[in-house]
Amino acid sequence: MKIVITLLLCSSTFIVKSQDALETFNETRILNAHSNETLKKKILQFRIEHRFGDMAGSAGGAQEFFGFDNAADIRFAFEYGVTDKLMIGLGRSKGTGAPYRSLVDGFVKYKVLEQNKAKQIPVGVSLFGASTITYMKANEDLSLVQSFPKFSHRMTYVSQAIISRKFNDRFSMAILPTYVHRNLVLANDINGLFSCGAAISLKITKGFGILGEYFYNFHDNEIRTEFKNSLSAGLEWLTNGHNFKLVITNAKGFNEVQYIAGNTSDWSKGQFRLGFSISRNFKL
């Protein structure tokens, strides 16, 4: 009986150091892409994300104040930790207009594996699935994707595995095999697109770090002639309950369907932009 009581008393005051790779990335996003991290249980996060217009090139420069006059995409979202390993999110994006505007996205992310030296698990694996739907007004021109002949043409889907590894206190990396599916595309595009992302995080201090992210699309360049791979770099500041990121990227839009499958901006033509994301956590 004494043992039972002792265990009962101890159970409330015992630190379980279950992992040895906490904060592989500082929050649930790397830059555009999701990281392996999920929100803790009963944490509600509000996110505001913004991408400005082209900094340089024909649509940028001083006339557009290096893109600050324009908003390529804006996303507001509420995201929530259902358990310590499962999170869901619902967001609304302005959309880049190529081809979608007024996008609503919903996603689920689940931590399948956590890196753990003692258990000889070298990497963390999270699975991510998302879907978007646009409620933009359909265009009468049937040669455009935006004509949406069927309701299902408004929908897109993403599946992604986020394989991450924290190499040391400061350096982490992730590989992100991704599949994006769109129900309706033009002739110069494909419905199902495989892509693989790679991302790094280098923490200079506990609260400040540098991030990089690149997605390589496995597509036939002769069909998808207009599309470009997304390349992004960023700085990150972490404070108690807040995360602020400053991003420079050629991708205009949020959601995988836009920044992986629908990206047409080219770094070499000055079509890169600043962006930021701010998140604030609330306990429910």
Partner 1 sequence: MNRLLIIVFIGLIGVLYSITYKSSTDIRVISKRINVSELGLEDILSRLGDKPLNHRLVTFDDSKAQIGLELIKYGKTSKQKSKRISKHFVCTDCHNLGREFEELSDDSAENRLEYARKNGLNYLPGSTFYGIYNRTSFYNDDYIKKYGNLVDNARDTLENSIQLCAKYCSSGRYLESWEVEAIMHYFKKTELKLRDINLTENQLKNVLNSQKMNSEEKSELVSMIKSKYSQSYSAHFKPTMDRNDRKYGEGGDVENGKAIYNSSCLFCHYDKRVTYLNLDETQITAQMFWRNIESYTDKSLYQIIRYGTYAKTGRKQYMPLYTDEKMSDSQINDLVAYIKQLAGK
Which residues lie near partner 1 (CB under 8 A)?
6, 8-10, 12-15, 17-19, 22-23, 40, 42, 169-170, 203, 205-207, 240-241, 281, 283-284
Q: How far apart are CA 85 and CA 104, in angstroms?
A: 24
C-beta of 30: minimal distance to partner 1 in Å?
17
The answer for residues whose C-beta is within 8 angstroms of residue 148's C-beta and 6 or more apart is 134, 138, 139, 154, 184
- Identity of the residue, 6 or 188, whose beta carbon is nearer to partner 1 in the bound complex: 6
The alpha carbon of 66 is separated from its chain's Cα centroid by a whole number of angstroms, namely 24
CA-based angle 200:207:249, to the nearest 5?
A: 40
- Identity of the residue, 19 or 147, whose beta carbon is nearer to partner 1 in the bound complex: 19
From the number of C-beta atoms within 10 Å of its C-beta (0-12, 13-18, 19+), residue 265 rates as: buried
Q: Where are the beta strands (DSSP E) in 135-268?
A: 155-166, 171-182, 192-205, 208-218, 231-239, 242-249
C-beta of 6: minimal distance to partner 1 in Å?
8
C-beta of 257: minimal distance to partner 1 in Å?
31
C-beta of 168: minimal distance to partner 1 in Å?
9
The count of residues in the chain is 284
Helix (H/G/I), strand (E/B), else coil: 229: coil
Residue with tokens 């280098």: 202
Phi-psi region of 252 (alpha: psi -120 to 50; beta: other; left: phi over 0): alpha
- Identity of the residue, 102 or 281, whose beta carbon is nearer to partner 1 in the bound complex: 281
- Identity of the residue, 187 or 284, whose beta carbon is nearer to partner 1 in the bound complex: 284
Here the tokens at position 119 are 């258990």
C-beta of 48: minimal distance to partner 1 in Å?
16
User: β-pairing, 124-134 with 192-205?
Assistant: unpaired
C-beta of 158: minimal distance to partner 1 in Å?
27
C-beta of 208: minimal distance to partner 1 in Å?
10
- Identity of the residue, 12 or 143, whose beta carbon is nearer to partner 1 in the bound complex: 12
Q: How far apart are CA 25 and CA 115, in angstroms?
A: 12
Secondary structure element (H or E) that encloses residue 9, with its range: helix 2-11
- Identity of the residue, 11 or 268, whose beta carbon is nearer to partner 1 in the bound complex: 11
- Identity of the residue, 9 or 186, whose beta carbon is nearer to partner 1 in the bound complex: 9
